[in-house]
Amino acid sequence: MAGIGPLTQDWEPVVIRKKAPSAATKKDEKVVNAARRAGAEIESVKKSNAGTNKAASSGTTLNTRKLDEETENLAHERVPTELKKAIMQARMDKKLTQAQLAQMINEKPQIIQEYESGKAIPNQQIIGKLERALGAKLRGKK
C-alpha cells in the first residue's frame, strides 16, 4: 500500500455493549428478586387460563351435551329403487357390462355397482352422464 497516498486512521471510539435483556430474562426469578431488593416496582399479572387445558375442553362440553340430547337419526339419501331398475334396464338394453358403462362415463366400475345396488348417494352429475351414455331418461317423469 506504499505510495498510494497518506494513510489516515479512524480515531473514533468503538463502543461494545451487551445486548438488551430479552423478555425471558426480565421474567427470570433472580432478576425479579434483585429488583425487589433494589426497591423497584414490580407488577405481576396471572393469565386467565395459564397452565390449564380449560380453553380446549370448555367449549366442547356444550357441543357434546347437544349431541347427546339429539335423538334424530340422520342418514344419507340413497338411490331410489326406480332409478336402480332404470339404470340396469337401460344398460341391459344396450348390452353393456357395468365396467363398459363406467368407462363410457369416465367413472370407476364400483360407482355403477353402487348405483345399481342402491348403496350410492345420488349425484346429479353422474346421473346426467348415465342418461347421456344410455340414451334414456333416468330422472323425473318419463
Amino acid 64 reads T
Q: Is 20 helix (H, G, I), strand (E, B) or coil?
A: coil
3 to each of 6, 7, 59, how far by Cα in Å? 8, 10, 80
pLDDT at 1: 52
pLDDT at 24: 67
**Cell (9 digits) for 105:** 362415463
pLDDT at 60: 60
Residue 10 DSSP code = -
pLDDT at 64: 75
Query: How do residues 73-111 score in pLDDT, each as one tens digit?
Result: 777 888 899 999 999 999 999 999 999 999 999 999 999
pLDDT at 52: 67
Domain 81-134: which CATH number of 3.30.1510.10, 1.10.260.40, 3.40.640.10, 1.20.1250.20:
1.10.260.40
Cα 98–Cα 110–Cα 121 angle in degrees, nearest 5:
110
pLDDT at 128: 94
Supply the mean pLDDT for the chain: 82
Segments of the chain with pLDDT less than 50 = none
pLDDT at 21: 67
Q: Are 109 and 66 within 8 A, CB to CB?
A: no
pLDDT at 45: 73
**Cell (9 digits) for 100:** 363398459
pLDDT at 110: 95
pLDDT at 51: 65
pLDDT at 84: 94
Cα 96–Cα 99–Cα 103 angle in degrees, nearest 5:
95
